[in-house]
A and B are shown apart, each in its own frame.
Chain A
Amino acid sequence: MHLLLDILSAMLLLSGAFFVFVGGFGVMRMPEFYTRMHAASLTDTGGAALILFGLMLQGGFTLIPLKLAAIFLFLFLTSPTASYALANAALLSGVKPACRNETGKAFPGEQPAKPKPKRKSASKAVKARKSAPVKPPAGKPAKRPAKKPTKKTARKKS
């Protein structure tokens, strides 16, 4: 019984470790922001769940599995929420998902979801900025245009 638990939790831990690593690799290698986020957010939840379940099996009948379960629950709630907030922030400030059709030519991603009337001005700003990119402050050669959506970079990498 003990051995069985050990084997099971080892499997869970190792597969969790593999998931986590794959997620990291995806964040490293994916071509642009939204795909990276996809890689990160999936494995954040999946890998974490596997590892935490693996540990839970080792905890015995104490408070430990309970704490691990709480950690899992909170991660399960917060991690996707954080991803949502992040994606929303990116979309709001004009980072577009880079998609491409068969000809290899990139086309702009879909427009952000129909804005509620409350946020009318915000989406207008997004449109306005698309036509007139914001310059970095004068006298500052933007070596790394971190602020600007980088369709170009993304295309080059893929």
Chain B
Amino acid sequence: MTLYDQLPALVVAVLLFTAPIAYMLRMHGFPWAAATAAVVTSFIVACSLAATAIGGETIIYEMGGWPAPYGIVLHIDALSALMAMLITGASSAALIFGAKSLADEVGEETAPAFFAAWLLCTAGLVGMVITGDAFNIFVFMEISSLSTYVLISAGPDRRALISTYRYIVMGTVGATFYLIGVGFLYMVTGTLNTADLGARVGQVEDIRLVLVAAGFVSVGLAVKAAVFPLHSWMPNAYTFAPNAVTVFIAAASTKVSLYVLIRVDYAIFQNSIANHEVQLTLFLVPLGVMALFAGSLLAIYEKNLKRLLAYSSVSQIGYIALGIAMTSVAGLTGAIVHMFNHGLIKGGMFMAVACLALRYRTVNVANLAGAGKAMPWTMAAFVMGGLGLIGVPLTPGFISKWYLVLAALEKGWLGALLVAVILISSLLAVIYVWKVIEVAYFREPRANAVPVTEEAPMVMLIPTWIVVLTGIWFALDTSVSVGLASIAAKTLLGVAL
């Protein structure tokens, strides 16, 4: 076996191998360095996997050497490669970016545990996207959720604990629902391998159990993905987590649940349940539309910048849900590209917020007056991200919304309505982004406020701008993101490449 053959396992194995080491060796600065090295290695491996997958190839790696329905296989196609790239990329960017701020917020004593949890979180998320086994998804979902709780509760504010508690409750409910669904599927098919499930579910005569399973799995994943009425755990979790953690989980964590939703609904249920498109549309379109409006409106009235961005994530997840619900190549491509692009945009914006928080010691919008002058580069990065959220051309947000609109137009009058909804919510995004810009650029700082004159340090600014520029690059050259996404969409829908 050459190294090339081992790449799929390496993505996760590197992280899982390093996590205990980072936990055990309590030297100064070592946990961070080990974590960064492992995550960056994993990112490089994921990129090379993506390079293979862009040719439309699916890699199957048999764990332990046991063949598919008996053992566990890794299943890497365009979609998983794209997601693996996003997760490991976001994780490395956040780690490098957060080198200093994490050292401040976490402290020497808890650093080994924290960075081990970080590695485990990355490993859990990557493990979920590359595996080809429905139960294995649950195992790695547990790893990622538990470690996310640790990461969030490391926040300096005591309220981090309460928001972690909320997240634990909701996350456990979501994961349990998923497990119940998988249990039912196992009961009617006798297999856990996703490909095998997709084939065997179609042969089940009485589909009552399959329907219930589909319901449980979809609702459970919707909770984990913070689709609108089930989003209540998210804003506080984002707000009180350490800043670098927010960057990471905002960019990667909810997207993975959406990924699993796509994977399960399209690869398992699509071929086997009659009218599954209709059910999916009925389930996700109302939720998506509600999410678009509610998320934007809540963001408009929000005063805390981190929570504002969290509500904006709620609305952006609405776009993805809409794209998934359309069951067309364009819609699915739009959804997948938006998962990727939104990860980039939100990651960059939260990085900018972390820079602001470093200097202003607060993330209340009202206190950021004058930030445009004091921290021009940071605010410029924030504005670039904001434009991306709105969907202005030449930003990554435009690409994905373009595909969503294209997909909606295929759907007749309902589609026209959806286009209108997308446009209105973009306008709402203008409002909440403008709210921040107005304060930062056009309002004089209060007299009694401590004046901020210094720009964020270079170690934070440079990663921020790298992420922002990567976003712009993906807006100009869409061959990687859209290329992978359209291959993924075609594969999932069974259309010839």
A and B touch in the complex (CB under 8 A): no
Chain A residues engaging chain B, CB cutoff 8 angstroms: none
